[in-house]
């Protein structure tokens, strides 16, 4: 995490298209929580490194290594921790989305309070294609895009949905054709918010997230569903096939 002028920048990286193993998920959730508790931070900018992918979702290596329900629940709970950290953070979280965004990455983009994306930022909920389902990220995605768009993404799990569609559905707030424009938009917005009333922003965030107070329990319940499904022979075979090709 980097802090400057009231703005905390939280970034993550993984060499496999910014996929998220359990350790990185926990660190990301803890860092967001830490920034939210820091009185010197007025705003959080969430980003990933590189240019090709914002986030490829779950780590397939960890998925295929899961051998019991408790381990599966623990892994998928990592995504719930990140989403709930964003939800409960008293500061606005602005996400910088570049490149392809898959599964859990879509959930993170949806959980952000404001997402600024590059036009290359197509999205996909690929979970059903590997025998699972977007159970943990589902509440965040559905809250942002609505039930119809969420069900379309979840059912057509191999389809890439382009950035203009994501913007139309409300997943992305703004979309630009160059990374320079994305960064300029975030910089200008961050400066404005850093000088805004922190208490007013905190109260607004409570209003925005009203009705999600049960998510601490709900997302863990959803993680249990995924943790059970990942143990099936169907899912293990599907994940192995995906590992041999492109996600």
Pick the closest to residue 119 from 104, 147, 100 (CA basis).
Answer: 100
- C-alpha 124/C-alpha 128 separation (Å) is 11
51-74: b (≥16 Cβ within 10 Å) or e: eebbbbbbbbebbeebeeeebbbe
pLDDT at 245: 61
Pick the closest to residue 182 from 173, 169, 191 (CA basis).
Answer: 173
Per the model's pLDDT, the better-predicted residue between 246 and 100 turns out to be 100
Pick the closest to residue 48 from 114, 103, 117 (CA basis).
Answer: 117
Domains along the sequence of the chain with CATH: 2-194 (3.90.226.10)
Global pTM value: 0.93
CB-side neighbour CA atoms (13 Å) of 69: 7
In the structure, what pLDDT confidence band is assigned to residue 240 with cuts at 50, 70 and 90? Answer: confident
Q: Using only C-alpha atoms, what is the Rg of the chain?
A: 17
Lowest mean pLDDT among 13-17, 167-171, 239-243: 239-243
74-88 pLDDT tens trace: 999 999 999 999 999
């Amino acid at each position: 995490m980097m802090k400057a002028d009231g703005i905390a920048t939280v970034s993550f990286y993984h060499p496999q298209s910014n996929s998220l193993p359990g350790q990185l998920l926990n660190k990301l959730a803890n860092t967001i929580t830490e920034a939210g508790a820091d009185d010197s931070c007025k705003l959080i900018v969430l980003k990933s490194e590189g240019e090709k992918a914002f986030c490829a979702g779950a780590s397939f290596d960890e998925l295929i290594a899961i051998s019991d329900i408790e381990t599966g629940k623990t892994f998928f709970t990592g995504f719930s921790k990140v989403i709930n950290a964003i939800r409960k953070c008293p500061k606005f979280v602005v996400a910088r989305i570049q490149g392809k965004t898959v599964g859990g990455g879509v959930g993170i983009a949806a959980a952000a309070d404001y997402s600024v994306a590059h036009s290359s930022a197509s999205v996909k909920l690929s979970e059903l294609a590997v025998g699972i389902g977007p159970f943990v990220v589902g509440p965040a995605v559905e809250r942002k895009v609505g039930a119809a768009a969420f069900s379309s993404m979840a059912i057509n799990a191999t389809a890439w949905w382009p950035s203009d569609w994501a913007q139309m559905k409300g997943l992305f707030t703004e979309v630009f054709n160059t990374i320079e424009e994305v960064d300029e938009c975030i910089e200008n917005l961050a400066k404005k918010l850093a000088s805004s009333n922190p208490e007013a922003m905190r109260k607004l965030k409570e209003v925005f997230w009203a009705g999600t107070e049960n998510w601490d329990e709900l997302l863990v319940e959803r993680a249990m569903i995924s943790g059970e499904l990942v143990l099936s022979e169907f899912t293990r075979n599907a994940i192995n096939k995906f590992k041999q090709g492109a996600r």
